[in-house]
Amino acid sequence: MGAASSLALTGAEVSELAAESGFRSEQVASLYERFRKLDREKHGVLTKKELMMVPELAMNPLADRLVDVVLAEGSDGAINFRDFLRLLACFHVRSDASLARLFQLFDEDGDGMLSRADLRSTIRLMVGPGPEVGADGSSSSKQKVVVTDNEVDAMVDSTAEALGITGGDDGADLSAFLAYARACGLDKLMRVRVTVGTGDDEDEDEGTLGH
Q: Does the structure show a pLDDT above 50 at 15?
A: yes
- pLDDT for 193: 37
Strands (E), 43-151: 46-47, 78-79, 132-133, 139-140
Q: What are the tens digits of pLDDT across the range 21-57?
A: 888 899 999 999 989 888 888 888 888 888 887 777 7
- pLDDT for 202: 39
Q: Are residues 121 and 52 in the same domain?
A: no
Domain for residue 182, yes or no? yes
Domain for residue 41, yes or no? yes
Residue 160 CA to residue 78 CA, distance in Å, equals 34
Give me the CATH number covering residue 183: 1.10.238
Domain for residue 67, yes or no? yes
- pLDDT for 134: 46
Q: What are the tens digits of pLDDT across the range 85-120?
A: 888 877 776 778 778 888 888 898 889 999 999 999
Domain count, the chain: 2
Domain for residue 39, yes or no? yes
- pLDDT for 174: 93
Which tops the pLDDT comparison, 202 or 129?
Answer: 129
Domain for residue 99, yes or no? no
User: pTM (2 decimals)?
Assistant: 0.63
Q: Are residues 135 and 62 in the same domain?
A: no
Return the bridge partners of 79, or none: 46
Give the rounded distance of the alpha carbon of 51 from its chain centre.
14
Domain for residue 6, yes or no? no
Structural domain of residue 34, as residue ranges?
11-93
Cβ neighbour number for residue 1 with a 10 Å cutoff = 18
Domain for residue 2, yes or no? no
**Angle separating helix axes 116-127 and 96-106, nearest 10 degrees:** 90
Residues sharing a CB contact under 8 Å with residue 197, sequence separation 6 or more, in sequence order: 203
Cβ neighbour number for residue 23 with a 10 Å cutoff = 20
